[in-house]
Every structure is written in C-alpha cells, then in structure tokens.
Amino acid sequence: MTARAPLAALAVLLAAWPWLASRYFVFLASLMLVNAIVALGLNILSGYTHQLSFGHAGFLAIGAYTAALLATHVPAVPVVVSLALAGLVTAAVGLAFGVPCLRLQGLYLTMATLAFGVVITEAILNLDALTHGADGLRVPAARLGPWALSTDASRYYLVVSVAVLMTAAAVNLTRTRTGRALLAIRESEIAAAASGVPVARYKTIAFGLSAFYTGVAGGLFAFVVGFLSPDAFDVFLSVDFVVMIIVGGLGSVPGSLLGAAVVTVLNDSLAGFQNYRPLLFGAILIACMLFMPGGLTRGLAAVTALGRRTFMRRSSMAGVLAGLAMLMAAPVGAEQGVTDTEIVTGCSNSFSGPLAFTGEQATKFGVDLYFKVLNESGGVHGRKVRTVYYDDGYRPQDAVANTRKLVEQDGLFAVIAPQGTPPVVATLEYLETNKVPLLFPFQGSPVVRGRKYVFGGMTLYDRQSKMMIDYLVGQRKYKTFGVLYQDDEYGKAFLTAFEKDLDRHQIKLAVAEPVKRGVNDVSAQIAKLQAAKPQVTFLVLTPPAGAQALKERQKIGWTDTVMVSSGPLTDERYLALAGDAAEGVEGLSLWPDPLTSELRGVKAYREAMQKHFAKNEVNRYSLSGYFAAMLFTEGAKRAGRALTRDGLITALEGIKGWDSGILPPITIGADHETQRQGFWVKVEKGRFKQLTDWLKAE
C-alpha cells in the first residue's frame, strides 16, 4: 500500500486539479501533459535506439494540423477518432522518414531530422489554401458525441485520459517482444544484432512509435491551444523536447514526465524573457550532462533512498497544498484587475524577433512612460496603473498563450498596445469571449473594426490605402502600381485594400509579389517587380525584409519607380536599416515628428522621456504607446471611481473632439476607431520631410 500511496495521491490531484487551480493553471497543466506525451515518444526513439531527433516539432505539427483540419472540415468526427488519425498519419510519415535514416548515425542523423522539421514548416506555409499558411488556423472545439469540449476543464480531462493511456502503454512496452528488442539495442546494438535482433526493423518501428505518440500529442495540442501557426513548430521547440528527455532521464518513463513538467514550467516562467531561453536551456543541458548524466530521475532516486516514505508522503501532500495555494492565489473581486489601489494592464508583445524594437519602444518607453507621469501625479481616481508584459516574438500562437496567462493568472483588467496583425488577430476570439477590452493595438487590419471590446490603435489599413491611392492617383497622377507584401494577415489586408481602391479609379494592380514571413531574401521578387515597370511600388513588409528590398533595388539600379513604405516600415529608424538605399522613399506617416514637433502633447512626451529615460531616443513607436496610455487614462477617468470594463467602454465611446495635443481632435464612434488620418512624407537625408497636411479617409 505504501508504494502505491504516491500514485493514489497523484491520481487524486489530477482528478481534482480543475477544482483547485485557476483556469490558466488548468491550461498550463494540459500543455504539460501534451509535452509529456511527446517526451514519452521521443524517449522511445532516443532513449532506446540512440537516434537523436531534432525534428519532432515537425511530427507535432503534422498531428496538430491533421486533427485541426478534421475538426474544421468534418466536425462530426469524434475527438477520439481525430486523435487516432492524427497519430496514424504522423506514424506513417515517421516510418517513411525512418527507413532512409537507417543509414545515418550521429551528426548526420541529427541534421536529417533538423531538415525534416524545416521542410514540414515550409510545407505548412506553402499549402496556405489548406493550412491558412502564416495567417494561422483557428481550431474548432473538440467533440465527444453531442458534447463540445469547449472549456479548459473538459479539455484537461481529455488530455489527462490520453496521457494516462499513453504512459501505461510506454511502461508496458518493455514487457513486449518489441520492447525487449529495444532494450537490447539500447544496451548494445552490436550485441543485439549478434543475438538475432533485426536492428534495422526495430529502429524503424521505434521511429513509427515515436511519431505516433507525437502525432497524438499534436492533436491534443491543437484542441488545447485552439490556434495553430507554423511559427510555433520551429527548431527551438524540437530542442525543448530533447531538453525534456535529457533533464528527466533518457530511457525513463518517469523521466519523460518529470522533464516535460520542468521545461513547461520554465518556458512559462520565461514568457517575458524569450531572448534568455536559449542561454538558460543550454546551461541546463550542460549542467545535466556534467553533474547528473542520468537525469533528474536518478538524482531523485538517490534522495528518496535516504528517506523514501517520509519523502513520498510529504511530496504527495505538497502537491495537494500547491494546488490549494494556486486556488487561493486566484484573483477575486468585483472587477478583475481593479483594486482600491491599482489598475492592472499590459499585453503580449514582440520583445524579440523582427519587431523587437517596436515592441519595446511602444510599451516600456511609451505606455510605461505615460503611466510613470500619471502615477507620480496620483494615478486615476487614486489608483496607480501597473503593467505586465510577455514576449511573443511576433508568433501568433505565443501571443494566444501569453494573453491567456495575462488574463487568467495575472488578472489583467485590459490589454493595451499589443502589436502585429497576426498576433493581435489570433487573440481576438479569446478576448471577445472573455469580455476583456483590447485597447489600441498597433496594427491596422480592418477585422478589429466594430467589435464591442476592441478599440483601434492606428489608422486601419483600408483607410490608409484609401488615403495613399487617392493622393498618388488624384494629386500625383500615377497610373501603374505594384506591391511587395508579406504573405500573412498583415500583407493581405493591405493588398485587398489596394486592389479595391485602385478599382475605384479604374486601375488594376500591375504586379503583386508575396514574401513569406521571416524570409529576408527578396531578390527574385524585386526582379519580377522591375520587369513589370510600375510607377509606384508599395512595400508591405517587416523592417528586415523591407531593408533588403530597398538594398536589392539599389543594387540592380532600379530607379524609375517610387518606393512607398507601409505599416510599421514607415519610420526613419527602420528605413535607416537600408542605409542610403532608403533615400527618397515615401510613405504615409500617422504620427507627428517626435523630435521637432512643437505640438503641446509631443513636447510633454519629450520632457517625460528626458526625465525618466534620458538615454532613449524619442521615436514614433514610443510616442504611439504614450498616446495609447493617455487615451486609456482619459477613458478611465471618465468612467469614474467604480471602474468596470463595460464602464470603460462606454466612456471611450463617449469621447468627442478630445484634444490630445498629439493628433487632431479625436471622436470615437460605434466603429471604435481612434484615428482616421495621416500625412505624406519623404525621406531626405535620413529624416522624414512632410509633403502634405493631414489627409483623411472617412
């Protein structure tokens, strides 16, 4: 009985977890168990046959998209069937991949699996008619008969059930003929072959079994997270899986579970410090190999040998107490994120990746700058404003997970100033369902227009397009246009608007060339654009790709087109990445010059920056965050002391002719747009020269 007491305590804790923990910790536990299933599968491959794989993120993606597409196109299929098919499809791919890999060992096998993961990600990006490519795929709720598993608790119990079955199968694997053969291969491949074990066959079987486990985990992952994007299945995820089995212990079932738990919790804890993850995980790997080569399971075994019974009883009780502590820590109150002394806001943003500079400036040197000034003067009706941020690296799936953490764990009152169309759009459904205000996102997709809980943070892309086309066609008399656009929600939103607005002038877009998100080599696209000879070429790209496009254009001597930047690229700081190739680029700027403007609000912004962040240069991105915090404060003050989310929305909707001292007077209507204007600029000697007054699009 004593030996079974820890298992009984664990079973009780697993069953009671949704009743003990907050919603976010239920979600996190589901992710932990999904990772545990992947680790179990990877350990079958690496722990028993010594075939190290850095391609399991690719297997996870296959399972996830298989289950998601089944749920989307054949919604009547029960979740059990979807998961089984996800596992079988992935296993078939694993077997097909495993056969040619039999001839590879060591570094060559590692490189092959690494390439496999990259190929799968590229396939998802390019099969956008099926997978929605870089835009991401929203996953419907899993169904079990007439019931939709639409709550965190129901999805958790599904994951627990599958994880228990998969763990039991892994434990009993060694009792089968296949398991004994794998054990023989683990001890000595040469001895196993000499004993008559068909090593090649069982290595292939191990690949298939490992892929099956990972495919099932992928299906669960799709239903738990609810949104899939190819960015989530990169090589770093495969590295995470390898870290799990090394930290936990190679060839150990308990080690797979423990390693998955440790890495999942670490990833969650580092949500705000993504740049440090590789450093920390590398240090953990080195430490494990040097000081604990058998993993945590062997280390814990040594500890439990000293006081097994006391340790087990205490650890079982500790688990229950941890759950109760999480329950007690869950935020309570009449309105989440509002206490007598503070208001909690924040967002998931890009503090790494292609928009890292923008994210940091808009939040830490923009939103926080204004709130520092506000808090010094007493706050909003006596409440100080506190912000919480997590890094999504411009990955939609991470943005969804971070936003859940902000709302369910940190008790956020409202999300303020996130950036990037794909990440923001990915979080819309969750925030709307939970009635959490999404305030002033730095993105322009029209999909946010008219939503009750969303207020735009910049002039939307269709309005920007209308102003740009009307100015270029009406005043500048240009007739032929081309566009180089990012192949995701951001680029496509602009592309659709350009085509519509050109059609109003009886003009067809001459050429449109897509660029995959994250790809910076645009030489082929620039050559095709030059061949089409457009008078105007729009750049709808992130800054690295935009800079490369301008450099490539300069390199080939293409001068007979006006390059027009769009979106976040329209800023001196980002255009400067192209050096002198940016000279003469034009665009629509949404913000006054933060360095030279004499507007009252801009001068106050410069003074605040000098006082609090003197080493940080003023720029349009921090100015946009400063303005977002200013507008939030105006709404919160109008909502009164009894601040609620609905009260804030009503207050913001009532703003008419408000003078911020930064932008023209603002009136917010039913469409919840805060800006409808911009002015034309041209780069001269590295700075924007204003060519027009404020342009408007009604």
pLDDT band at 133 (very low <50, low <70, confident <90, very high): confident
Task: Say whether both 360 and 473 belong to one domain.
Answer: no
Q: What is the pLDDT of residue 146?
A: 79
Task: Say whether both 206 and 242 belong to one domain.
Answer: yes
**Mean pLDDT to the nearest integer, 99-107:** 78
pLDDT band at 2 (very low <50, low <70, confident <90, very high): low
Task: Say whether both 190 and 55 belong to one domain.
Answer: yes
Would residue 197 count as lying in a domain? Answer: yes
Q: What is the pLDDT of residue 50?
A: 79
Give residue 312's Cα distance to chain centre: 38
380 contacts 633 by C-beta, under 8 angstroms: yes
Task: Say whether both 429 and 552 belong to one domain.
Answer: no
Q: What is the pLDDT of residue 326?
A: 43
Q: What is the pLDDT of residue 249?
A: 84
% the chain with pLDDT above 90? 57
Would residue 668 count as lying in a domain? Answer: no
**Mean pLDDT to the nearest integer, 394-408:** 92
pLDDT band at 10 (very low <50, low <70, confident <90, very high): confident
Q: What is the pLDDT of residue 628?
A: 97
Q: What is the pLDDT of residue 333?
A: 45
Task: Say whether both 300 and 387 belong to one domain.
Answer: no
Task: Say whether both 319 and 427 belong to one domain.
Answer: no
Would residue 676 count as lying in a domain? Answer: no
pLDDT in tens, 369-379: 999 999 999 99
Which of 79-93, 169-183, 468-482, 542-556 is predicted least confidently?
A: 169-183
410 contacts 388 by C-beta, under 8 angstroms: yes
The set of residues, in sequence order, having a beta carbon less than 8 Å from that of 81 and lying 6+ positions away, is 70
Q: What is the pLDDT of residue 316?
A: 42
213 HSE (CA, 13 A, CB side): 30
Q: Where are the beta strands (DSSP E) in 365-471?
A: 384-391, 414-416, 438-439, 454-455
42 contacts 210 by C-beta, under 8 angstroms: yes
Task: Say whether both 455 and 467 belong to one domain.
Answer: no
Would residue 284 count as lying in a domain? Answer: yes
Entry field: residues in the chain: 698
More confident residue, 179 or 176: 176
What does the mean pLDDT of the chain come to? 88
Q: Order of strands, edge to edge, in the sheet holding 454-455?
A: 384-391, 342-349, 414-416, 438-439, 454-455
Q: What is the pLDDT of residue 313?
A: 44
The set of residues, in sequence order, having a beta carbon less than 8 Å from that of 4 and lying 6+ positions away, is none
- For residue 234, give both structure tokens: 């990169």
Q: What is the pLDDT of residue 347?
A: 96
Taking 60 as the threshold, does the pLDDT of residue 320 lie above it?
no
**Mean pLDDT to the nearest integer, 286-290:** 77
Taking 80 as the threshold, does the pLDDT of residue 569 lie above it?
no
Taking 50 as the threshold, does the pLDDT of residue 216 lie above it?
yes
More confident residue, 277 or 92: 92
Residue numbers of the domain that contains 102: 5-266+278-328
Residue 483, beta-bridge partner list: 512, 538
**Mean pLDDT to the nearest integer, 25-45:** 93
Give residue 438's Cα distance to chain centre: 17
Number of domains in the chain: 3
The CA–CA distances, whole Å, from 637 to 417, 476, 675 equal 19, 44, 21
Would residue 295 count as lying in a domain? Answer: yes
Q: What is the pLDDT of residue 321?
A: 39
Q: What is the pLDDT of residue 305?
A: 57
Q: What is the pLDDT of residue 421?
A: 87
pTM of the model: 0.84
Most confident of 146-150, 422-426, 525-529: 525-529
pLDDT band at 150 (very low <50, low <70, confident <90, very high): confident
Which of 158-172, 184-198, 667-681 is predicted least confidently?
A: 184-198
Residue 650, domain CATH: 3.40.50.2300
Q: What is the pLDDT of residue 3?
A: 59
**Mean pLDDT to the nearest integer, 226-255:** 88
Q: What is the pLDDT of residue 330?
A: 42
Taking 50 as the threshold, does the pLDDT of residue 335 lie above it?
yes
Task: Say whether both 150 and 194 belong to one domain.
Answer: yes
Amino acid at 185: I
Task: Say whether both 572 and 636 belong to one domain.
Answer: no
Taking 50 as the threshold, does the pLDDT of residue 328 lie above it?
no
Q: What is the pLDDT of residue 612?
A: 96
Task: Say whether both 174 and 321 belong to one domain.
Answer: yes
pLDDT band at 645 (very low <50, low <70, confident <90, very high): very high
Query: What does the alpha-carbon distance between residue 27 and residue 21 come to, in Å, rounded to a whole number?
Result: 10
DSSP codes joined into one string, 311-368: HHHHHHHHHHHHHHHHHHHS--SSSTTB-SSEEEEEEEE-SSSTTHHHHHHHIIIIIH
Cα dihedral 376, 380, 383, 387 sign? negative
Q: What is the pLDDT of residue 300?
A: 67
Would residue 120 count as lying in a domain? Answer: yes
Task: Say whether both 171 and 107 belong to one domain.
Answer: yes
Would residue 594 count as lying in a domain? Answer: no
Would residue 150 count as lying in a domain? Answer: yes
The set of residues, in sequence order, having a beta carbon less than 8 Å from that of 592 and lying 6+ positions away, is 599, 602, 623, 662, 663
Taking 70 as the threshold, does the pLDDT of residue 311 lie above it?
no
Task: Say whether both 449 and 466 belong to one domain.
Answer: no
**Mean pLDDT to the nearest integer, 70-90:** 93
The set of residues, in sequence order, having a beta carbon less than 8 Å from that of 569 and lying 6+ positions away, is 539, 540, 541, 542, 543, 546, 575, 587
Q: What is the pLDDT of residue 331?
A: 42
Q: What is the pLDDT of residue 307?
A: 53
Which of 173-177, 306-310, 463-467, 599-603 is predicted least confidently?
A: 306-310
**Mean pLDDT to the nearest integer, 347-366:** 92
Taking 50 as the threshold, does the pLDDT of residue 327 lie above it?
no
Residue 43, domain CATH: 1.10.3470
